[in-house]
Chains A and B, each alone.
Chain A
């Protein structure tokens, strides 16, 4: 049970991106601290829950929605976007086509989901399988920063679900931006309802993440 003065945030996060980029693996690594090369394809949507002790007064519960990657499902999966507070868009550094699809995913997301303030939901870009594609992003860091700025990502991380690289960091970054995007934290204490705030107006950038 919670302490009396503890605040609890519940955030719905989407994990989207092309088929086979490792969305499920990232979530399994993040939530269950393990990895297997034998995950089955996700059909529809899978779920996970991660509880973070954010600070002494704050508990953050993350509802992770692991959404099937095939483009064809677009129509069907858009209902899953409803009321999400943040998103990860994932691509596979060993498959350039999955990076090309990133802007498509971002546009799709922004067209179907906005915060009540009218702003897009905070989104972090994950360059996954970086254990396999060492050279791909080398010397491209600045380009990636530029890409994120142009496309409205709040940050990007090279990740590896297999080697457990940067996944916790990426999540902290996203949560920080979500918290910052909520101007009035008192309202969000209802445990089972995700209630975006109507009057949040500005996104505060945080020091650990990409500055917009």
Chain B
């Protein structure tokens, strides 16, 4: 085929809804549009919007150690960023001062209005001329328009009667009182939130001291103690999070930073030779494994831009783009038997947010070497089915009603668990909450991943019981964004990982044994 224009990989457009969709008559396979003989040229497409490169806007300009980033990227941050990206609403200069003032009507400008405009511009009280607008303003902007209602009628209108003036004053007083009440309530709420935040910060600070001064220096001796385990459950302070993750995941593979550099340089060589030969035609005669690996590199590129896109830091031009690329590329060289599998980019990204580059790689490789992760990332289907089966044992035990409900729709765990397990919840839960799940996952191992899944089901049990197949599937593959850590962790805590005195590992082991005998039944659930 002829050479094709390469798709620009970065961002193309953020401002979505403001653009018109032109009626472009596209060719399609409908007979009336068939381009018999030669083919009709497609109608002129919508002209591409002339926008400045988005990249600059996306750049965050973050510098410094990654250890405290997870804390930084809370949901609040996401929404704020998104809002900032929207173009500012254009409003007439001078009137912006009052924020919610409706667009001005066209009025004959007399000297009084000009005076008002002047006052508004200089920041003093502004008196909108239209009475209807005046009402609205009082509703929304009580403080900036306090004098409005007392204003006399314009000179060309008859003056207010005494009763009317009185009534207006009364109404006005009521409104002000109402607004004051509202403001006091708001202030109380703000204060409460601030107090909670201070308390939280204090807790984090004091926990950090304990982690840094007591636990980390005596890691092996203390990690399994009750006190440390309890503190661990509360969530790791972001500043020690990466360190604790590293220690807990361990380094069974004995990877050194030097080894990482070696695999990274190998990956870089491969990219170089790949981009040099990619102009040639297809790798028809090259071995399938080479093609796969090259495809792997291509996949990494595609997926990186789709990893936490709302953070704007892993995308092309973002501060962590190259880092994520490096860690994933080095891994495909280190473990060609596993290669790159979708989901990995999310795991590597979370590690990069909490660890230095080489440490992130070491944790990444060791994490993926755990039996559960290896089974999933190698897409070992029969092993995955055993994990799902073990999950269902505890599902039935803990949430029998919901279990039956799911069963009645043949809604199997592979529908929602695959996403959760492959990304370790980093895609499905808000990032700060996902990090807390990772904390305890590092403490308790794979069992906690499935326990978290059951915690989510428990949290939303009442809602899910009301839903049918498609709505459950939609709900679980896109969880509500307002999920809080307090609620989720109390639900997780309520999940018992005991099934007639058997723990997760025992249940799983017995399933492994069963399946050795009666293998080859690949259907995840018996069809009913």
- Known A34-B16, A142-B39: A209·B422 in contact at CB below 8 Å: no
Give which listed residue, A40, A157, A166, A170, contacts B307 with CB less than 8 A: A40
Q: Cβ of A19 and Cβ of B419 under 8 Å apart? A: no
Partner of B414, one of A38, A76, A94, A129: A76
How far is it, in angstroms, between the C-alpha of A48 and the C-alpha of B473 when the chains are bound?
9
- Nearest chain B residue, comparing its CB with the CB of A208: B30
The A72-107 residues at the B interface (CB cut-off 8 A) are: 72-73, 75-76, 79-80, 92-97, 100
Whether B474 lies near A140 (C-beta < 8 A) is: no
Q: CB distance B26 to A165 under 8 Å?
A: yes
Which one of A113-121, A131-139, A179-187, A195-203 contacts B? A131-139
B381 touches A76 (CB 8 A): yes
B21 at interface, CB cutoff 8 A = yes
| With known contacts A41-B345, A75-B379, A94-B5, A20–B306 Cβ distance under 8 A | yes
B341 touches A39 (CB 8 A): no
* A70 CB contact (under 8 Å) in B31, B341, B473: B341
Cα–Cα, bound, A147→B21 (Å): 30
Give the contacting residue for B7; candidates A100, A132, A210; CB below 8 A. A132
- B36 closest partner in A (C-beta): A142
Q: Which of B60-68, B359-367, B464-472 lies at the binding interface?
A: B464-472
Please, which residues of chain B bring their CB within 8 A of the CB of A94? Answer: 4-7
Q: Which of B40-48, B350-358, B435-443, B502-510 contacts A (4 or more CB under 8 A)?
A: B40-48
- The distance in angstroms between the C-alpha atoms of A40 and B468, with both chains bound, is 26
Contact (Cβ within 8 A) B26 A158 = yes
* Cβ-neighbour of B299 out of A70, A80, A162, A165 (below 8 A): A70
Q: Within 8 Å of chain A (Cβ to Cβ): is B106?
A: no
Q: Is the CB of B13 within 8 A of A162?
A: yes
In-complex Cβ contact of A73 among B22, B36, B379, B478 (8 A): B379
Specify which chain A residues have a CB less than 8 angstroms from the CB of B473 in the assembled complex.
47
B341–A72 CB distance below 8 A: yes
Q: Are A163 and B46 in contact (CB under 8 A)?
A: yes
Q: B34 to A70, Cβ gap below 8 A?
A: no
B477 in contact with A40 (CB, 8 Å): no
Q: Are A19 and B299 in contact (CB under 8 A)?
A: yes
Given contacts A38-B310, A145-B29, A156-B29, contact A163 B21 (CB under 8 A): yes
| Nearest CB of chain A from residue B4's CB, rounded to whole Å | 6
A113 to B422, CA, bound (A): 26
Contact A35-B16, Cβ < 8 Å, known A44-B414, A73-B342, A164-B21? yes
B278-311 contact mask (Cβ, 8 Å, vs A): 1 or 0: 0000100000000000010011001100111110
Task: Give A186 to B303 CA distance when docked, in angstroms.
Answer: 45
What residues of chain B lie closer than 8 Å to A173, measured between beta carbons? 29-30
Interchain CB contact under 8 A, A133 and B474: no
Q: Contact check: which of A45, A97, A163, A170 meets B415 at CB < 8 Å?
A: A45
* Shortest distance from the beta carbon of B524 to any chain A beta carbon, whole Å: 6
**B470, A63: Cβ atoms under 8 Å?**
yes
A169 is an interface residue with CB less than 8 A from chain B: yes
- Chain A CB within 8 A of B130 CB: no
Minimum CB–CB distance from A165 to chain B (whole Å) comes to 5
A192-B477 CB under 8 A given contacts A38-B309, A41-B307, A45-B418:
no
In the complex the two chains form, what is the Cα distance from A41 to B46 in whole Å? 27
Q: For A47, give its contact among B28, B295, B409, B477 (CB under 8 Å).
A: B477
User: Are A145 and B419 in touch, CB under 8 angstroms?
Assistant: no
Q: In angstroms, how far is the closest chain A Cβ from the Cβ of B344?
A: 10
Find A142's partner among B28, B35, B299, B303 (CB 8 Å cutoff): B35
A44 to B477, CA, bound (A): 9
Question: Taking the complex as formed, is B458 at the interface, i.e. its CB lies under 8 A from any CB of chain A?
Answer: no
- Assess whether A79 is in contact with B524, with CB atoms less than 8 Å apart: yes
CB-based contact B24/A165 at 8 Å = yes
In the bound complex, CA of A8 to CA of B31 (Å): 29
A211 CA to B29 CA, complexed, in Å: 9
Give the distance to chain A from B510, nearest Cβ to Cβ, in Å. 24
Rounded to whole angstroms, the CA-CA distance of A165 and B7 in the bound complex is 18
Q: Closest Cβ of chain A: how far from B341's Cβ, in Å?
A: 6
Q: Separation in Å of the B282 CB from the closest CB of chain A?
A: 8
Interface residues of B in 497-528 (CB under 8 A from A): 523-524
In contact, A40 and B409 (Cβ under 8 angstroms): no
Report B460 CB to chain A, min CB distance, Å: 16
How distant is B1 from chain A, measured CB to nearest CB, in Å? Answer: 5
Q: Is the CB of B29 within 8 A of A49?
A: no
B38 surroundings in chain A (CB, below 8 A): 139
Residue from A97, A132, A156 with most neighbouring chain B CB atoms (10 Å) = A132
Q: Please measure, in the bound complex, the distance between the C-alpha atom of A199 and the C-alpha atom of B309, giving whole angstroms.
A: 48
Q: Which residues of B contact A69 (CB under 8 A)?
A: 342
B12 touches A166 (CB 8 A): no
| Contact A48 to B474, CB < 8 A, known contacts A131-B46, A207-B31 | yes
A140, B524: Cα distance in complex, Å: 43
Q: Min CB distance, B351 to chain A, in Å?
A: 17
**Chain A CB within 8 A of B118 CB:** no
**B14 sits at the interface (CB 8 A):** yes
Are B477 and A141 closer than 8 Å at their CB atoms? Answer: no
> Chain B residues near A49 (CB, 8 Å)?
470-471, 474
Contact indicator B29/A70 (Cβ below 8 Å): no
Q: Are B39 and A138 in contact (CB under 8 A)?
A: yes
A130 to B295, CA, bound (A): 23
* Residues of chain B lying within 8 A (CB to CB) of residue A95: 4, 7
- Whether a CB of chain B sits under 8 angstroms from the CB of A15 is no
B310 to chain A, nearest CB (A): 6
What are 16 A-to-B residue pairs whose CB atoms are below 8 Å? Answer: A37-B309, A41-B343, A44-B414, A69-B342, A72-B341, A94-B5, A130-B26, A134-B45, A138-B42, A141-B34, A145-B34, A157-B28, A158-B28, A163-B21, A173-B30, A192-B409
Closest A-B pairs by Cβ, 9 of them: A44-B418, A38-B309, A94-B7, A20-B302, A210-B29, A41-B306, A47-B473, A141-B35, A139-B39
The interface of chain A, by Cβ under 8 A from chain B, is 19-20, 34-41, 43-49, 63, 68-73, 75-76, 79-80, 92-97, 100, 129-142, 144-145, 148, 155-158, 162-166, 169-170, 173, 192, 207-211
- Supply 9 further A-B pairs (C-beta < 8 A) apart from A37-B13, A133-B5: A37-B12, A40-B308, A47-B474, A75-B379, A79-B412, A133-B4, A137-B27, A142-B39, A157-B29
